[in-house]
Amino acid sequence: MRISIPVNTVILGGGLTGIALARQLHQAGERVQVLEAEETTGGLCRSRQEAGFTFDTGGSHIIFSRDLEVLRFMHSVLGRNLEKRDRHTRILYKGRLVPYPFENGLYMLPKEDLFFCISEFVKNLILAEKGELPPPANFRDWIYNTFGKGIAELYMVPYNEKIWNFPTEKMSSHWVEGRVPRPPVEDVIKSAIGIETEGYVHQAVFTYPLEGGIQALVRALGSGIEDLVTCGFRVRKIAREDGMWQISDGDRIVSADRLISCMPLQELFAALDDVPDHVRSAVASLRYNSIRCVCIGVKGDVPPISWLYVPDRETGLENRISFPSNYSSCVAPEGCSAILAEITYNEGDAISAMSDEEIISHVIESLDHMGFARPGDVIYSGTERHKYAYVVYDLDYLENIATIKEYCRHRQISLVGRFSQFEYLNMDGCIRSVLDFMQGDL
């Protein structure tokens, strides 16, 4: 077994968070080492470049944020490797491309559905004004309380149960406030009578790397610190000996004064020694989704849509379809376009058992049915799986995560990032977690 030179700080995981954190710590003068299990950095922000196409293999990513400090940070790192685009997002509803969010596109619905949505929305407002709406006990309750029965049943519940692959009544609602805005009453009424409104204005304009896909951001963050990153190091054992952390992959050992985990909690605790049973039980109870991303390259153009939500299960397994060639002019060969389909699943379900050929065939058939791509126009296809994709907030989440974080504090293990903090963080949230850590706020 080979022993490495000790470092001040070891970071477990070389995704967006781990690389951004290593950059900041290195600039602060620390001796830091990143240990990444895969053969390349990036995690969910990896990109595939083949046959002239570029696809983000962990799902469609764009660069936007209400957090201007984080937005400036990401833009400064990428420099000139950026394109700015207007967002054009749609929901495929009964064959209609309804503007997103759903409540801003009510005028596009069949008249019966429009009446159902606006009538139930108004009824809900009256109940709320009277104080007759009980506090939501779960995510489904929150949806009904916020949007009314019509919007809930026609879009919000079907879409959320498709993407989370979990019953909404068994999900906590604590995470929604601030993440899913409550629709302004004026906007819903305007939408119902055909006056155009704009929801989620912080996403109205977004940026994206001109070249390299979203992994270009991770590569730019890691520029100059390549020697501090060890790929192909799958952590097998973590122990505390003589005041130092000893991290082993079964062949090598890295010693460090400080341990920061940016890897999934499930993988961290599988390697830790002497963990009490109640803590291991809390980790085992955490729920998450996996994702299969299907990359399709086609001849010709695609609609001028940024991405599309697909709530209906009958239409296809995909919960979201994006069009990366509408993000950047350099992600598809001339005269061609790129399409990315995202399908969430859990290990052991029917989707997880589908072969690559089966799931690619399903997506191509769905795209043909939707009118976005004919099978004869497909010139490239591929698929990727990511085990850890979405954090699922079940009703026991808050209790379980509190147990885990208290244990990590006790053992002086810092948790930074999406699957280490076990929070549904977008890219800007991951960068914010790094900046907060550097400021001592985590």
Smallest CA-to-CA distance from 287 within 396, 428, 174 is with: 396
Query: How many Cβ atoms are within 10 Å of 274's Cβ, its own excluded?
Result: 7
Residues 239, 159 share a domain: no
Residues 218, 167 share a domain: no
Cis peptide before 303 (omega within 30 of 0): no
Residues 221, 175 share a domain: no
138, part of any domain:
yes
Q: Final residue of a domain: which of 199, 223, 249? A: 199
Residue 264: give its domain's CATH number. 3.50.50.60
Strands 83-86 and 287-299: unpaired
162, part of any domain:
yes
Residues 273, 184 share a domain: no
Residues 413, 276 share a domain: yes
| Per-residue CA distances from 75 to 66, 209, 434 (Å) | 14, 9, 16
184, part of any domain:
yes
Residue 415, domain extent: 2-43+213-283+396-438
16, part of any domain:
yes
Distance CA 339, CA 299 (A): 11
Residues 195, 132 share a domain: yes
Residues 260, 192 share a domain: no
Q: What total number of domains does the chain contain? A: 2
Tens digit of each residue's pLDDT, the chain (442 residues): 555 667 899 999 999 999 999 999 999 999 999 999 999 999 999 999 999 999 999 999 999 999 999 999 999 999 999 999 999 999 999 999 999 999 989 999 999 999 999 999 999 999 999 999 999 999 999 999 999 999 999 999 999 999 999 999 999 999 987 666 677 888 888 888 888 776 555 668 999 999 999 999 999 999 999 999 999 999 999 999 999 999 999 999 999 999 999 999 999 999 998 999 999 999 999 999 999 999 999 999 999 999 999 999 999 999 999 999 999 999 999 999 999 999 999 999 999 999 999 999 999 999 999 999 999 999 999 999 999 999 999 999 999 999 999 999 999 999 999 999 999 999 999 999 999 999 985 5
410, part of any domain:
yes
Residues 232, 270 share a domain: yes
Residues 268, 404 share a domain: yes
| Per-residue CA distances from 63 to 83, 202, 302, 359, 437 (Å) | 10, 11, 21, 28, 21
Residues 402, 270 share a domain: yes
423, part of any domain:
yes
67, part of any domain:
no
61, part of any domain:
no
pTM (two decimals): 0.95
Distance CA 400, CA 24 (A): 30
